[in-house]
Structures are given as structure tokens and as C-alpha cells.
């Protein structure tokens, strides 16, 4: 006998059948309705039984059903009222709350709410709308309450940037905004044909684990993000020139030639912290 996930996929396919446009382009809707793949994604989050889980963009509820089958308590944020109503009705037998909300505005607050309810940070498991994936992930890792773990489907290009090490062209501002607060790794690559409708790009599942020690280190350096933004806006320049407009020359010189003669993507995470310390005004130094 089919389980909840198989029934949900069948219902979703029936709902989508005959539509001229199965997904709403403005909302980056590409639905994953492969039961085996959905279960693999849930498994990447670890043991979700009894855990509070935030899902963003559930659409017709395939991943939602997989999470419920694994024993999770799911709070889902869905901007499309049609799919919010559909998933809420189809999965009414499970511990599920579907809220019609803009995840960019609501997700960090919901993470804090679920953490207070459970007494521990929740998990985030989602097939993220591609249009909001990067800013949302940054907001989640630097929120006042960060999730314990994020397992998210994103564009493969975004996954590559999130996980990029020093020296590569894919390493950029997004990499550092996440890496200085969390550890990210790519877990799974998903071909376009796995989705309905297929996107024009390959996708990947990333695992992001916020690190309190890294977050504290970043928070202790109030100008760090300003330095990152200035550097990557002029990423073809050496840091000496890229930071000249935001750091006085006498402070910038404290960073030393070893850092200042390199380009922003070449620095390791720890070197960015060292750079922020070197150029800090006297009042900012600990």
C-alpha cells in the first residue's frame, strides 16, 4: 500500500495535469515529485523524528509529505495561496502548519519561534525558490537564532559558490557571508529532468551547519561585512586598492603586504578575520 508521500505525489500530478504552465515563473516554481529523491533529501537532515522543521516553498507538498513520513513536525511557508491551500488540505492528517507568507520576511522569525517551542534550534529542509535562495540562506545563518542544520535544494551554481574554497573564481561575497558563520558542503546534484517543469539549470542539495564559535568571531568584528562588500565589489583589484575608499591608509597599512597584495577570493576565512582585526580602529580592538 502506498504511503503518505506516494499519495501526495499522485495528488500533485493530478492537480498539475493539463496545466499550460505547471509552475509560476515569478515564484521560481519547479516541483520535485520523485519519491526516492525526496526521501534522500530528508535523510541528509539526519533523524527528524519529533523535530521541529521549517520548510520554505513546499508547493504541492512532496517534500512536506516525506518529512511527515519521517516523523517531523513541519511548519511550511508558501507564498502561493493555491499551493498553500492544496498542501494544507491534502496533508491535514499530519503535524503540519502551512502559513501563507514571504519567507524572506518571515523565516528568521519562524526559526526563533520554533526554537522557543522546542527548546532547541529547528532544522530547515527545503527545495528553495531559486530567486530568493542566496539572501534567505544568509539571513538564516546570521539571524539571532540560527537553525541547527539547513538542508536546501538550490541552483548548482549557488551551491558551488557556497562551498568554494580560497582561490577559485566561484568564491565571492555569498561564500564568505555564510562561511564566516557556518560550514557548508554540497551533498547531492540533481538534474533538471527531476523537476516539473524542468528548470534551465542543474540543481544541488547543500548542507549548512551554523557554527556558534564562527558566528561569535564574526560578530566581534563589526566592520567585517563592510570590508567584504567593498572588496568583492572590486574583486579584480588587490585588496590595497579595493579597500582604499573604506579604510584610512594608516589603518590599512597595518594589514601588511601579505594580505594587501592579494585579491579577495584568495583569502581563507581566518585571514578575513585577521584583516578585520588589523584595520580596526583603536576603539574597536579587543
Final residue of a structural domain among 168, 198, 213: 213
- Rounded to the nearest 10 degrees, the angle between the axes of helix 224-233 and helix 269-279 is 110
Asked if residue 144 and residue 64 are part of one domain, the reply reads yes
Domain that holds residue 274: 220-284
Beta bridge partners of 183: 209
* Pairing of the two strands 195-196 and 123-127: unpaired
Asked if residue 137 and residue 110 are part of one domain, the reply reads yes
Round to whole Å and give the CA distance between 52 and 74.
6
> Residue 258 is part of a domain; what is its CATH number?
1.10.8.100
Final residue of a structural domain among 186, 213, 240: 213
* Pairing of the two strands 149-155 and 123-127: parallel
Asked if residue 230 and residue 191 are part of one domain, the reply reads no
Asked if residue 248 and residue 150 are part of one domain, the reply reads no
> Residue 91 is part of a domain; what is its CATH number?
3.40.50.150
Final residue of a structural domain among 180, 197, 213: 213
* pLDDT for the residue numbered 18: 57
Q: Which three cell numbers stand for residue 24?
A: 509560476
User: How do residues 19-77 score in pLDDT, each as one tens digit?
Assistant: 544 555 455 578 999 999 999 999 999 999 999 999 999 999 999 999 999 999 999 99
User: How do residues 140-158 score in pLDDT, each as one tens digit?
Assistant: 999 999 999 999 999 999 9
* Pairing of the two strands 195-196 and 31-32: antiparallel
- Please tell me the pTM assigned to this model: 0.93
Do the Cβ atoms of 42 and 49 come closer than 8 Å? no
* pLDDT for the residue numbered 29: 74
User: How do residues 90-100 score in pLDDT, each as one tens digit?
Assistant: 999 999 999 99
User: How do residues 224-252 score in pLDDT, each as one tens digit?
Assistant: 999 999 999 999 999 999 999 999 999 99
How many other CB atoms are found less than 10 A from the CB of residue 272? 22
Amino acid at each position: 500500500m502506498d504511503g503518505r508521500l506516494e499519495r501526495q505525489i499522485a495528488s500533485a500530478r493530478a492537480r498539475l495535469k493539463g496545466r499550460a504552465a505547471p509552475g509560476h515563473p515569478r515564484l521560481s516554481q519547479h516541483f520535485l515529485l520523485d519519491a526516492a529523491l525526496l526521501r534522500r533529501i530528508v535523510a541528509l537532515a539526519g533523524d527528524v523524528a519529533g523535530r521541529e522543521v521549517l520548510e520554505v516553498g513546499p508547493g504541492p507538498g512532496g517534500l512536506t509529505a516525506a518529512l511527515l513520513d519521517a516523523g517531523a513536525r513541519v511548519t511550511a511557508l508558501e507564498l502561493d495561496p493555491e499551493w498553500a491551500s492544496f498542501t494544507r488540505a491534502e496533508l491535514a492528517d499530519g503535524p503540519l502548519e502551512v502559513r501563507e507568507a514571504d519567507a524572506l520576511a518571515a523565516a528568521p522569525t519562524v526559526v526563533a519561534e520554533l526554537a522557543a517551542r522546542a527548546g532547541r534550534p529547528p532544522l530547515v529542509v527545503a527545495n528553495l525558490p531559486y530567486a530568493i535562495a542566496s539572501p534567505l540562506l544568509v539571513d538564516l545563518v546570521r539571524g539571532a537564532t540560527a537553525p541547527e542544520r539547513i538542508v536546501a535544494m538550490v541552483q548548482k551554481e549557488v551551491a558551488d559558490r557556497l562551498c568554494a574554497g580560497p582561490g577559485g573564481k566561484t568564491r565571492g561575497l555569498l561564500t564568505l557571508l555564510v562561511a564566516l558563520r557556518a560550514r557548508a558542503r554540497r551533498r547531492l546534484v540533481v538534474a533538471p529532468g527531476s523537476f516539473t517543469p524542468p528548470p534551465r539549470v542543474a540543481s544541488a542539495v547543500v548542507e549548512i551547519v551554523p557554527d556558534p564559535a564562527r558566528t561569535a568571531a564574526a560578530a566581534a568584528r563589526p566592520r567585517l561585512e563592510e570590508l567584504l562588500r567593498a572588496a568583492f565589489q572590486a574583486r579584480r583589484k588587490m585588496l590595497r586598492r579595493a579597500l582604499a575608499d573604506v579604510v584610512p591608509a594608516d589603518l590599512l597599512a597595518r594589514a601588511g603586504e601579505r594580505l594587501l597584495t592579494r585579491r579577495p577570493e584568495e583569502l581563507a576565512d581566518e585571514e578575513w578575520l585577521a584583516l578585520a582585526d588589523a584595520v580596526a580602529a583603536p576603539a574597536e580592538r579587543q
